[in-house]
Structure 1
Amino acid sequence: MTLTMKNISKSYQDGDQVVEVLKNVSLEVAQGEFVAIVGPSGAGKSTFLSIAGALLSPTVGEITIGGTELSNLSNKALTEIRLEKVGFIFQGANLIPYLNVRDQLLLIAELAGHRGSEAKQKADTLLSELGLTARQHNYPESLSGGEKQRVAIARSLMNNPDVILADEPTASLDASRGHKVVQMIAEEVKRNNKAAIMVTHDERVLDLVDRVVRIEDGHLRG
């Protein structure tokens, strides 16, 4: 399994009370599998995704990404995991306003210590696959919402991650563009044997995933 979450719980101290956000949840996502997490607001979806991507540590439980168990890793090692093994697609594209499309991708490679012609070739290949070659020198302010999300997808794939995590990737898009964006993620999952989790409220894109898991009151069902 590329991503394994085993007996994960997450709680916070809120004054005198302990708030349990996740309650002993487990999930395995295989290579080439695209899983959607659905559920009401406040159910723990964003917390779950943050833990899956090593942005947040669980109170209890184990996470394994690409064969690496995370619980005893240093902060520096966790940063390397996030850069090299996890590709994030956030609700808003979160592009850097002063970088053009191509440089958005090259920055990710540079942060991971990958420079030179190989990184440039990877960026150009991704931009071509996602229909962005003609926009590679444009800045975010001149891109449509759909184009920004495609750049975000390309950026998330820049370091060939084992795991893709998407947080409400269709939130700012109309139905047609949203469906196309999720279809692109699904195609990447199959083409390059990635494991992917998408948190979504958008039931119109659930036909594109392999499995739907519901989160409610801190528990996973599905």
Structure 2
Amino acid sequence: MKAKLYLEKISKVFTDGDHEVTVLDELSLKVNEGEFVAVVGPSGSGKSTFLSISGALLSPSKGRMFINGKDLSKESDDKLNEIRLKNIGFVFQSSNLIPYLTVLDQLILISVLAGKDKQEAEVKANKLLDRLGLSHRVHHYPETLSGGERQRVAIARAWMNDPEILLADEPTASLDAERGREVVQMLSDEVKLRGKAAVMVTHDQRVLDLCDRVLYMEDGKLVENKR
């Protein structure tokens, strides 16, 4: 089975004054087509750094990252920007919505930036928003939405460019149990239906059974979950 995402012996070292702090230590991970992986672990264990490197937002100190077999360590900054826009969908703990754009325009903008047709983008955006129970909010602005609604908009936005990989950082943090489970189920269904790959960092034990694998961040590496 083809790996959509492959991290090969990734290390990340930060300098703190005269000391070096190793956050990731030769971490390796393969996420295959149609696979939904959860990563758990205590605060400060390196989960956010791991996710940032997986999304090509942060360069590793050592090791290589591949998307669909392509080695990103050889790509220019401009090319990495294009890869992030077209091949990676992000859902952050904070929804990061643009305050002066309506819900619908939040999604359309992502596709327009990727050079796609605006009318086609609008049709797709409306379908995604309807699926996430937001069809009645398409013309609203972020300040008028609840925290859960803002997060659902962010999840719909992440799927707009049909990315190969979706990376989610605590996507259920602002959702109640029922809605959080619905959202994670939707992510899982989309991954399998479309042959994508997803990695979710979470503390939400209620949704782990919806994932194909659960890994634990320990000493800068990923190991099988010790629940």
Cα deviation per residue 1:61-108 (whole Å; 9 max; x = unaligned)? 111112321001111000001000000000011111111111000111
Find out whether 1:91 has 2:93 as its counterpart: yes
- Which of these residues, 12, 15, 21, is aligned with residue 13 of structure 1? 15
Structure-2 separation of matches of 1:67 and 1:131: 36
Does structure 1 residue 37 correspond to structure 2 residue 47?
no
Name the SS for the 2:74 alignment partner: coil
Aligned equivalents of 1:202, 1:219: Cα separation in 2: 20
Corresponding position of 1:191: 193
Distance 1:16 1:97 in 2: 41
Q: Secondary structure at the match of 1:34?
A: strand
Shift of 1:116: 2.7
Aligned counterparts of 1:151 and 1:158: Cα–Cα separation in 2? 11
Q: CA RMSD in A?
A: 1.2
Scaled by the length of structure 2, what TM-score is found?
Answer: 0.94
CA–CA separation in structure 2 for the residues paired with 1:161 and 1:154: 12
Matched residues in 1 for 2:129 and 2:173: separation?
Answer: 22
Question: Which structure 2 segments of 5+ residues have no match?
Answer: none
| Letter of the structure 2 residue corresponding to residue 149 of structure 1 | Q
What pairs up with 1:79-158 in 2 under 5 angstroms? 79-158=81-160
Instruction: Tell whether the 8 Å contact from 1:66 to 1:85 is kept in structure 2 after alignment.
Output: no
Structure 1 residue runs without a partner (length 5+): none
Distance 2:136 2:8 in 1: 44
Counterpart amino acid of 1:8? I
**Alpha-carbon distance in structure 2 between the residues aligned to 1:178 and 1:124:** 21
Number of residues of Structure 1 aligned to a counterpart in Structure 2: 222
> Which of 49, 61, 64 pairs up with 1:62?
64
C-alpha contact 1:146 1:181 (8 A) present in aligned 2: no
Contact 1:149 1:181 in 2 (8 A): no
Q: Which moved more, 1:199-208 or 1:166-175?
A: 166-175
Identity over the aligned pairs, expressed in percent? 61
Provide the residue aligned with 1:169 in structure 2. 171
Please say if residues 215 and 223 of structure 2, whose CA atoms lie closer than 8 Å, have aligned partners that are also in contact.
yes
Q: Secondary structure at the match of 2:93?
A: coil
How far apart are residue 189 of structure 1 and its match? 1.1
The one-letter code of the counterpart of 1:139 is Y
Tell me by how many angstroms 1:186 deviates. 1.3
Q: Which one-letter code corresponds to 1:156 in the other structure?
A: A
Distance 1:37 1:50 in 2: 13
| Structure 1 CA distance for aligned equivalents of residues 172 and 129 of structure 2 | 20
Quote the Cα distance in structure 2 between the aligned partners of 1:28 and 1:96. 33
TM-score scaled by length of structure 1: 0.96
Deviation at 1:56, TM superposition (A): 0.4
Distance 1:116 1:106 in 2: 7
Q: Distance in 1 between matches of 2:116 and 2:138?
A: 20
Which residue, 200, 218, 221 being the options, matches 2:202? 200
Cα distance in 1 between the residues matched to 2:95 and 2:118: 26
Query: Secondary structure at the residue paired with 1:170?
Result: coil
Separation in 1 of the partners of 2:93 and 2:86? 21
- 1:49 match: 51
Return the alpha-carbon distance in structure 2 between the equivalents of residues 117 and 213 of structure 1: 40
| Structure 1 segments of 4+ aligned residues over 6 angstroms from their partners | none
Determine the structure 2 residue equivalent to 1:159.
161
The Cα shift of 1:175 comes to 2.1
Q: CA deviation at 1:155?
A: 0.2
SS at match of 2:189: helix
